[in-house]
Amino acid sequence: MLTAAKNQVRVCLLSIKYNIMREMVNKVTFLTNVCFMVLNDASILVQWFILFRLREDVGGYTLREIMLLWGLTAASFGLSRILFARVFSLSELIISGKLDSFLVQPKNVLLSVMTSSTNISAVGDLLYGVVLACACRPGVGGFLLFLLFTVTGTVVFTAFALLLGSLSFWLVRMDILQSQMTMGMISFGTYPDGIFEGISRFLLYFIIPVGMAVWLPLHVIVNFDVRTFFALIGYACLLSGAAVAVFYRGLRRYASGNLMEARL
Amino acid sequence: MRKYAVIYQSVLLENLQYAANVAIGFFTYFVFIFIFIKLWGYMYRTPEELIAGYTKEQMIWYVMMTEMLYFGSNANVVAGEVAGDIRGGNIAYRINRPYHYTLYILTKYTGEWSVRLPMYAAVAAVIGAVMVGPLPRFRLITLPVMALCVILGITINAVFKLCISLFSFWIEDTAPFQWLYNKLILVVGIMFPVEIFPKALQPLLKLTPIYTVCYGPAKLIVDFSPAKCLEIVAAQVVYLAVGCGLMVLIYRKGVRKLYVNGG
Amino acid sequence: MQVIRVEDLSKTFRVKKKEKGMTGSIKAILHPQTEKIQAVNGVSFTVEEGEMLAFIGPNGAGKSTTIKMLTGILYPDGGRVEVLGVDPTKKRKQLAYQIGTVFGQKEQLWTHLTPYDNFRFFGAIYDLSERETEARIEELSERFALGSFIDTPVRNLSLGQRIRCEIVASLIHKPKVLFLDEPTIGLDPVVKENIRSLIMQMNQEEHTTIFLTSHDVGDIEKLCRRIIIVNAGRIVLDDSVEHLKHHYPDKRAADTQAHEKAAENGDSLSISLEEIITEIYKSEERIAEK
């Protein structure tokens, strides 16, 4: 059991390493991609400088808190796409029947699929996120919390994308919805939660889990609270559990072949 | 001219079949607009407040209109596709046909936005009516002029992007330059009207394509005045003439280089 | 020992029916109608250890569906499958350690890595230790003559070199059964010949059972002693290649004119395997039309 787990981890790490090596084959392209992503993210700061000229807070956030939020979203989304980029295009994989080659391997299907590609501009996101967080001088404790929540944020983003992607086992056209919903989630995650109220706020915490991925964690970094802290970690576990369950449910349907119409 | 009409017609018919795919993009549009509605809802402390001379409704409508222009035109035809044609060598087959390549591309582009833009306009109108409220100085009678201004803006944008793509005759990858141009439009032009920027920057911004591509049309829709209209359309005509001149010049030089060196 | 046992295997797909045009799309949403397609219909056969079997049929006959059920990718609706004493449906992972797959049209190698790195990756997938992997790579690279390009990234290799690497990658864990789906597709005759002799060698030296699908009759003729032809989900022929060649009723034998013509041109009139297979496919088509 233990050796099996060890071997599984070995394969996953090797897979991620090879993915990154592939992207690094062309160093110039790699560096341009990363740099442009950093510039891309940084250019949005213009928007915030303008908005903070108009009012001293936006949605109850100071400029420093906005920068921390941006850092957290960028780092989480970045890490998620460095390690598990394939999850974000899972729908395509399912629809075109490309899970077959993972199914003939004697390893965990989900983990093999998840780690089978990377998105290199995401390195820029991660880099920018961490640098931006450091620029906010959160202190050692704050920075450690930031790193921890980057990990839970990664888990929530990935699990949510996995959940949406897995719906492709049942529904058609999920590929477009998956990418739109995940991008939508990231867009919400770069604005303060204070501007949303009522139903939209509820939806953004419990249906599209932006609140659980970045907003609440940010509040905990700014104002530490033990109960929220553990609640967040619990939520990340719960959501990933649900996502994995749905994926395997769907995989049974895949194996029954009823998605095969396009391939006959 | 007739052949371009035929090209336009066939692209239009083809794109009409994919209308459903366009509709799926509404979600992203809606997310952006929704965020801006909430954002400006918070920024305006009282309903009567003016920020940079705009009421809350005008400010939101402004973003809705610029985003509509952005989403409603598929820039890939004039950007990625052209660069791909040139770098991939497809251009050799295209220039020997009895049409002008740049006009062919622009016609194709027009065929695409003819389907997308009205769809986004309809969505914008619905979102605006339901979630934002009417514009105070909007008159139906000025609609044709606004439409003209929008079409000019979209076309100028395409001409500029096409110019950048045409540099593919000389350089390997034009994508970074497209990106810079897009960023300029997106960060400075789409989110805020020019008036919101520091006074010192404003004259500079009015010289950039932003003024004719997104600020102009959006401003006319949210705050129409005959004087403003004349000024913007005049600027657009000048920009379009200069842009087209540049485009033809670059294209000729590029084709000559192609004939000398072979792809 | 029987390595593959298939009994009365069947698989039905439900396919959504949709009429053309916009109204068709709307109808399909409101009243989804499905149509059953019997992809595999009561197939039974067994394969002995070390056998080389050609499993062929026209496009859409149910070949890949059968292979998918044998490898655990698809679950059957009816019948029984046993590969190496294991039910693929229930113990897919366990089975995966003992079988190898090569899909000619689908690449499993990482194209930016060298074959050597690729093999190490596959070694890790099949839980081989570093030392086992190294030893196996050395052995196979010698046998498949990969020495000159084992450190060249796969994307820079020729198609023939690539497919050789694909096969080595699928042999890294000494599989007892090797599933080859169109292994020689798109290769030139010399490379095809080379691949065939390597497969033959594997079969002889490691006693690997080979389950081959191919549209290339050359593959079948050179490699397989036994042939199974499927059509419309059923087995229409299960025979040894030799027997088939000598006992297929040649219609032209009775045709004296053809005899004379052939004699004039100096041709022999013996019918080739390719012609036999074509004849069988055609007669199947005729039956289907009726």
Is the separation of the CB atoms in A180 and B27 below 8 Å? yes
Please provide the average confidence, as pLDDT, over all residues in chain C: 84
| Distance between first and last Cα of chain A | 39
Look at C262 and A124; give whichever has higher pLDDT. Answer: A124
What's the pLDDT band for C256 if we cut at 50, 70, 90?
A: low
Residue C41 has pLDDT above 80, yes or no: yes
Q: Which pLDDT does position C28 carry in this prediction?
A: 64
User: Which residues 6+ apart lie within 8 Å of C94 measured at CB?
Assistant: A106, C86
Task: Please report the number of interchain residue pairs, chain A to chain B, with beta-carbon separation below 8 angstroms.
Answer: 62
| Most A-contacting residue of C40, C103, C112 (CB-CB within 10 A), to test interface | C112
| Most B-contacting residue of A121, A190, A196, A197 (CB-CB within 10 A), to test interface | A196
Is the separation of the CB atoms in C80 and C5 below 8 Å? yes
Task: Please report the number of interchain residue pairs, chain A to chain C, with beta-carbon separation below 8 angstroms.
Answer: 76
Residue C253 has pLDDT above 60, yes or no: no
The CA distance from C167 to C199, in Å, is 9
Query: Long-range contact list for C194-197, CB < 8 A, 24+ apart?
Result: C194/C160, C194/C164, C195/C160, C195/C163, C195/C164, C195/C167, C196/C222, C196/C223
The CA distance from B150 to B156, in Å, is 10
Q: Which pLDDT does position A132 carry in this prediction?
A: 94
A58–B32: do the CB atoms touch at under 8 Å?
A: no
Look at A257 and C46; give whichever has higher pLDDT. Answer: C46
What's the pLDDT band for B39 if we cut at 50, 70, 90?
A: very high
Of C39, C75, C125, Cβ closest to residue A107: C125
A21–C97: do the CB atoms touch at under 8 Å?
A: no
Is the separation of the CB atoms in C56 and C220 below 8 Å? yes
C72 at A interface, C-beta within 8 A: yes
A256–C103: do the CB atoms touch at under 8 Å?
A: no
C124–A25: do the CB atoms touch at under 8 Å?
A: no
From residue C280, alpha-carbon distances to A89, C126, C225 in Å are 43, 41, 18
The CA distance from A129 to A189, in Å, is 13
A46–B31: do the CB atoms touch at under 8 Å?
A: no
The CA distance from B155 to B110, in Å, is 8
C93 at A interface, C-beta within 8 A: yes
A200–B38: do the CB atoms touch at under 8 Å?
A: yes
Instruction: For residue range C263-274, list pLDDT tens digits in order.
Output: 666 555 567 888
Would you call B119 helix, strand, or coil by DSSP? Answer: helix
Q: Which pLDDT does position A174 carry in this prediction?
A: 82
The CA distance from C130 to A14, in Å, is 13
Q: Which residue of A has its CA nearest to C178?
A: A104
Is the separation of the CB atoms in C167 and C198 below 8 Å? yes
Give the A-side interface with C, CB within 8 Å: 3-4, 7, 10-11, 14-15, 18, 21-22, 25, 100-101, 103-107, 252, 255-258, 260-261, 264
Q: Which pLDDT does position A259 carry in this prediction?
A: 57
Q: Which pLDDT does position C3 carry in this prediction?
A: 92
Chain B residues within an 8 Å CB radius of A61: none
Give the A-side interface with B, CB within 8 Å: 32, 36, 39-40, 43-44, 46-47, 50-51, 54-55, 58-59, 173, 176-177, 180-181, 183-184, 187-188, 191, 194-196, 200
Chain A residues within an 8 Å CB radius of B43: 51, 54-55, 58
- Distance to chain A for C24, nearest Cα, Å: 16
Mean pLDDT confidence for A146-160: 97
Residue C285 has pLDDT above 60, yes or no: yes
A257–C125: do the CB atoms touch at under 8 Å?
A: no
Q: Which pLDDT does position C255 carry in this prediction?
A: 59
Q: Which residue of A has its CA nearest to B41?
A: A195
Neighbour order of strands in the sheet with C33-48: C33-48, C2-17, C78-83
B246 at A interface, C-beta within 8 A: no
What's the pLDDT band for A263 if we cut at 50, 70, 90?
A: very low
Q: Which residue of A has its CA nearest to B27?
A: A180
Of C60, C96, C120, Cβ closest to residue A105: C96
Residue B92 has pLDDT above 90, yes or no: no
What's the pLDDT band for C144 if we cut at 50, 70, 90?
A: confident
- What is the pTM (predicted TM-score) of this model? 0.85
Per-position DSSP letters for chain C, written without gaps between them: -EEEEEEEEEEEEEEEE--SHHHHHHHHHHS-EEEEEEEEEEEEEEEETT-EEEEE-STTSSHHHHHHHHHTSS--SEEEEEETTB-TTT-HHHHHTTEEEEETTS--S-TTS-HHHHHHHHHHHTT--HHHHHHHHHHHHHHTT-GGGTTS-GGGS-HHHHHHHHHHHHHTT--SEEEEESTTTT--HHHHHHHHHHHHHHHHHH--EEEEE-S-HHHHHHH-SEEEEEETTEEEEEEEHHHHHHHS--GGGG-HHHHHHHHHHT---PPPHHHHHHHHHHHHHHHHH-
The CB density around residue B216, as the number of other CB atoms within 10 Å, is: 26
What's the pLDDT band for A4 if we cut at 50, 70, 90?
A: confident
ipTM entry: 0.88
| Most B-contacting residue of A29, A34, A45, A47 (CB-CB within 10 A), to test interface | A47
Of A15, A18, A103, Cβ closest to residue C92: A103
What's the pLDDT band for C240 if we cut at 50, 70, 90?
A: confident
C112–A21: do the CB atoms touch at under 8 Å?
A: yes
- Distance to chain C for A43, nearest Cα, Å: 33
Is the separation of the CB atoms in C199 and C184 below 8 Å? no
Look at A68 and A6; give whichever has higher pLDDT. Answer: A68
C15–A261: do the CB atoms touch at under 8 Å?
A: yes
Is the separation of the CB atoms in A154 and A240 below 8 Å? no
By residue count, chain B amounts to 263
Instruction: For residue range A77-102, list pLDDT tens digits in order.
Output: 999 999 999 999 999 888 888 888 88
**What value, to the nearest 5°, has the Cα angle with vertex B155 and ends B151 and B160?**
150
- Distance to chain C for A155, nearest Cα, Å: 25
Cα dihedral C16, A86, C73, C137, rounded to 10, equals 150
Residue A262 has pLDDT above 60, yes or no: no
What's the pLDDT band for A249 if we cut at 50, 70, 90?
A: very high
Residue with tokens 């660069």, as numbered in its chain: B83
Is the separation of the CB atoms in C253 and C220 below 8 Å? no
C133 at A interface, C-beta within 8 A: no
Chain A residues within an 8 Å CB radius of B33: none
Residue C254 has pLDDT above 60, yes or no: no
Of C60, C65, C124, Cβ closest to residue A11: C124
C96 at A interface, C-beta within 8 A: yes
- For chain A, percent helix, then strand, then coil, each to nearest 5? 80, 0, 20
The CB density around residue A226, as the number of other CB atoms within 10 Å, is: 8
- Distance to chain C for A157, nearest Cα, Å: 27
